[in-house]
A and B are shown apart, each in its own frame.
Chain A
Amino acid sequence: MAIAERTAGTISPPDIHARPGWAGWLSTTDHKRIGIMYLVSAFIFFLIGGIEALLMRIQLGTPDNTFLTPDVYNQMFTMHGTTMVFLAVMPLNVGLGNYIVPLMIGARDMAFPRLNALSIWLFIIGGLMLYVSFFAGGAPNVGWFAYAPLTQKQFAPSAGVDYWIIGIGLTGVASIAGALNFIVTILNMRAPGMTLSRMPLFVWMQLVVAFILIFAFPVLTVATIQLLFDRHFGTRFFLPAQGGDAVLWQHLFWFFGHPEVYILILPTMGIISEVLPTFSRKPIFGYAFVAYSGVAIGFLGFLVWAHHMFAVGLGPLANAFFGAASFLIAVPTGVKIFNWLATMWQGSLNLTTAMHYAIGFISMFVIGGISGITLASPPINVQQTDSYYVVAHMHYVLFGGAIQGIFAGVFYWFPKMTGRMLDERLGKWQFWLMLISFNLTFFPMHLSGNEGMPRRIYTYEAGMGWELWNLLSTIGSLLLAVAVLLFLWNMLTSLRRGAIAPADPWDGATLEWAVSSPPPSYNFAVVPTVQSRRPLWDRKYPHLHESHDPGEESMERLGAVMHDAAETEPPIPAGAIHMPSPTYAPLILALGIMVLGFGIIYLGDLGLAAAAAMLVGLLVMAGGIVSWVRISHVDSPHHAH
């Protein structure tokens, strides 16, 4: 067995590579620090998106309410959707992936640490630019789906839509760069012996998501740039009155938008596939089925976009095709659910908070999956689409599913990241309060939707039969906020007073538990050699090793033969490990892009002044690139590989 020296209980070595204080964070290229920055900034955006949701729920609590004006309400649902998708759930997954994936595969960092830093800065700047719109004439008010031609300047004159285009564009570049980074890292930097068939399922799902991302996001980027040109430079891509096509936007948007659903949910399915085995003390049931069903979902996700468009009038044949393809997704999804159940079956279930959330994920995701079946059926869809039924369905998938999965991941990995345990008692209170209030909030929406309540209405009249459902939803949403505050409290107090986390608090099976909590900046003093899917588990319980899945054995022999030599290698002194130097270059480059972005937003209206801003932005970018190249050059001669 040749994994790294276990450092449980020892103090992690000083971080020799980071600058102290704030400078350390602004100039970091450490995947762990970048992961934490993703998680913290995405959690802040999650809180803001939650406040937007609460304001909407207060407005809808009673009929004919005047708490919000229609325009403010429209800004709220646009920003809530945009925030939760692009600025909360996606980056929370990226943050967990950024921190955990290199550790899980036995790597010392991501393949491109500086590109990784650029991604986090572009993400933060993109998110901030979206929110600047509130102070620049109003936030976007056209929905996160931004259907044409409502987004044209004549219908949406405020700069909100332009901020939306640029903000989404920047987070999109961040995501694409991040996805390429994940792909190269996962394919090239796995520890010796970690074949694809031994890779943890969380890593598998991050890999699938990275591929989805690089195919889906550019389509959105192109569509939004076309929209920008429509608004400012006289093109008519989406303006039917002048020969454009409003439906084209929907095709482009949903060709991105449906795969986006899997970008949000697959990483959390990966989390569940780690948490359930650990707390069941069993390996995942049907590793290959779970991995390949994720691949199948990712692939099918590109063939179903028009099920968001069944009421558009594409014709019965197109609707039938997209309906059938959507039904097919039930198969790999069902496989995952059953494999998770089988993983728990005859296990020894340790019902920690993370396990509570993993079980809650399965339960709520099943409801979201079932309610999706009727939406996949074109005839039923035309009754349910654009009604509150969809709001219910989608939140069972993205809150009951993705958010609960992320909470499972956070409770699972928080000790690894911070060196402190979260309070389990408080965590379980949070879980039950969240589960109950989540259902109180979103279950009634199935009913209000089926009783004819359309989405995205800022008010409704009394007497439609929707009053009770809306009141229950509003009460539920307030309790949900309390549950989130419980987590915030738990996190803040545990960071200071939580029990000290050992290296391996959960009796884990994967490599991240083989290093101290938190890990040293270089992760592994000795790059481990892997001989199975559960490298740490097999080291701790060698007597159980023989009960291996025969399919895995044949795949593993190759890796084992190649890397046995590593076992005898002496540990390398910490200082001798080459790590990328800290640098401000990515931050400078991102700031330059931000200035360029502001210039683009106002180029149509301000002309020369905006062009000057663009020039300044380009110069700052050039400065960033030059210093980037210099630091790469300085770093490269010492390269240890």
Chain B
Amino acid sequence: MRTHPRSLARLVGPVLLIGSFFALAACANTPGNTYDPQGDHARRIYELLIPIWWMALGVFVVVQGLLVYAVWRFRRRPGSAAMPAQVHGNTQVEILWTVAPAIIVLVIAVLTFRTQAANAVMPADAMRVTAVGHQWWFEFQYPELGTEGKPIVTASDMYIPVGRPVTVVLEAKDVIHNFWVPKLAGKTYMIPGKTNYLTFTAEQPGIYRAVCAEFCGEAHALMRFRVIAIDAAEFDRWVAQKRVPPPAPSGTLTVNGLTGDAARGQALFLDARKQCISCHAIEGTNARGAIGPNLTYYGSRQTIAAGILPYSPENLGRWLREAPGLKPGNLMSRVLTPQWIRANLSDQEIADLVAYLDSMKVSVALPPER
């Protein structure tokens, strides 16, 4: 296993090729890419990362270069039995390479603390949104924007205005969760019994992917949400609509050949025997369940069941039929077992419920996915 200089030189090409492939791939505009920041918090982190990345690359090249050179240069050649000089050390050299890393980390520390201070600022005029982590979905409350002391409450889609700082007040209902919108801001834990704060400003309108990043039990992988950043005027329009309860449902919706009736669907939803209102609330109705997500204006959700299915009436029907299989462990599946559904929810009733939930819509011009 001897390494020749020529074979080393031949390695340079492939190594550069592979390296640039990884570098390009890492910069691709994928939905959760922290190297593509779209918010001030994430951007400051990215801008701190770049100089550190170059320093790290320098250290990497120097140390690996010395290592490879030493192996090649000082390898024992056949027939050479010469004993190397028995050098025990050199204090000056050692002080030098004790001080050198110390200087590098000092520089990194200074840069770090500047960024840290900037990212800890919580402006007084920031809009407050309370985010609550549940097993396994995110609830969002807008205490400053509701009516009569009641906040606007929604789940899984967090609407924010572009260009205005938002302070997210982070809480958890059951176990620890972790609020992460990679393109907008770094993570902050949501801890039961403790309140955390995270401030960031979205710089671009867009729909941003977000997840729970702390292991929180069986369906942790299926606990996702979206941050929907829209310009201020559009955000005000969203708020104005969310402040009033949905109008009385009317109309029908045909899904997979079955026509559901929205008004009938509302009656079913409010029927205690169907169990919906034990957990769910809808503004303007008697549904006041506080265990599951608030379903007011559900027809405007981007996803179903905390980001696991794109929103569509078809998928909503599928969710009502197959909740246990789609999201193992979730609370709804403990009530809506296959046997219970067979006994208590006909396909027509599901179509009616879908028609009702789909009928409640907020009109907002949606930004592109980023």
A-to-B contact residues, CB < 8 Å: 69-71, 74, 141-143, 147-150, 155, 240-241, 244-247, 280-283, 285-289, 311-313, 316, 319-320, 323-324, 327-328, 330-331, 333-335, 337-339, 341-342, 344-351, 356, 359, 362-363, 366-367, 370-371, 373-374, 377-387, 428, 432, 443, 447, 450-461, 463-466, 468, 541, 544, 547-549, 552
Contacts and interface: CB of A to CB of B under 8 A. Distances in A.
Contact of A455 (B31, B112, B170, B215): B215
B45 A285 contact: no
A246 B194 contact: yes
B76 A380 contact: no
A408 to B, nearest CB: 14
Given A70-B218, A344-B70, A382 B97 contact: no
A464 B31 contact: yes
Given A335-B98, A344-B70, A454-B211, A71 B328 contact: yes
Interface of B: 1-2, 22, 25-26, 28, 30-35, 42, 44-45, 48-49, 52-53, 56, 59-60, 63-64, 66-67, 70-71, 74-76, 80, 82-90, 93-94, 97-98, 100-102, 104-106, 108-109, 112-113, 115-117, 119-120, 135, 170, 174-176, 178, 180, 182, 186-189, 191-194, 196-197, 209, 211-222, 308, 328-329
Nearest to B46: A383
A316 B116 contact: yes
A359 B189 contact: no
Given A150-B216, A547-B86, A548-B88, A335 B115 contact: no
Given A282-B87, A432-B1, A452-B31, 4 more contacts: A319-B116, A335-B94, A452-B180, A459-B221
B193 to A, nearest CB: 3
Contacts of B33: 450-452, 465
A313 B187 contact: no
Given A345-B74, A383-B34, A452-B209, A313 B189 contact: yes
Given A147-B214, A363-B67, A69 B328 contact: yes
Nearest to A78: B215
A362 B67 contact: yes
A150 B178 CA distance: 13
B28 A465 contact: yes
Contacts of A150: 175-176, 215-217
Given A147-B214, A377-B112, A457-B221, A386 B187 contact: yes
Given A70-B328, A374-B52, A380-B45, A547 B88 contact: yes
Given A311-B189, A323-B112, A451-B33, A347 B42 contact: no
Given A454-B212, A465-B30, A544 B86 contact: yes
A337 B34 contact: no
Given A240-B192, A335-B97, A281 B218 contact: no
A379 B56 contact: no
**Interface core residue of B2, B85, B187 (most chain A CB under 10 Å):** B187
Given A320-B113, A450-B34, A247 B191 contact: yes
A451 to B, nearest CB: 5
Contacts of A458: 220-221
Contacts of A247: 191, 194
A149 B192 contact: yes
Contacts of A385: 187, 213
Contacts, number: 298
26 contacts: A71-B218, A71-B328, A71-B329, A74-B217, A141-B218, A150-B176, A240-B192, A240-B194, A246-B191, A289-B98, A311-B186, A323-B113, A327-B105, A335-B97, A344-B70, A345-B74, A379-B48, A382-B186, A382-B188, A383-B187, A386-B187, A387-B213, A451-B28, A452-B209, A456-B221, A548-B88
B213 A386 contact: yes
A341 B67 contact: yes
B115 A342 contact: no
Contacts of B88: 283, 285-287, 547-549, 552
Q: What 10 A-B pairs have minimum CB-CB distances, sorted nearest first? A: A452-B32, A240-B193, A465-B30, A382-B186, A549-B88, A457-B221, A334-B101, A313-B196, A286-B89, A452-B182
Nearest to B97: A338
Contacts of A464: 30-32, 209
B31 A366 contact: no
A351 B87 contact: no
A417 to B, nearest CB: 24
A341 B80 CA distance: 21
A246 B186 contact: no
A450 B59 CA distance: 21
A379 B86 CA distance: 46
Nearest to B114: A379
A281 B83 contact: yes
Contacts of B80: 348
Nearest to A355: B71
**Interface core residue of A141, A286, A320 (most chain B CB under 10 Å):** A286
B35 A454 contact: no
Contacts of B115: 377, 379
A287 B192 contact: no
A341 B74 CA distance: 11
A401 to B, nearest CB: 14
A431 to B, nearest CB: 8
Contacts of A149: 174-176, 192
A571 B93 CA distance: 45
A371 to B, nearest CB: 8
Nearest to B224: A461
A460 B224 CA distance: 11
Given A287-B88, A323-B109, A464-B209, A451 B32 contact: yes
A411 B107 CA distance: 41
Contacts of A347: 74, 84
Contacts of B74: 280, 344-349
A331 B215 contact: no
Contact of A463 (B31, B174, B188): B31
Contact of B105 (A142, A240, A328): A328
B196 A346 contact: no
Contact of A356 (B1, B120, B211, B219): B1
A202 B86 CA distance: 20
B195 to A, nearest CB: 8
Contact of A327 (B71, B109, B186): B109
Contacts of B329: 70-71
Contacts of A320: 113, 116
A347 B85 CA distance: 8
A147 B190 CA distance: 13
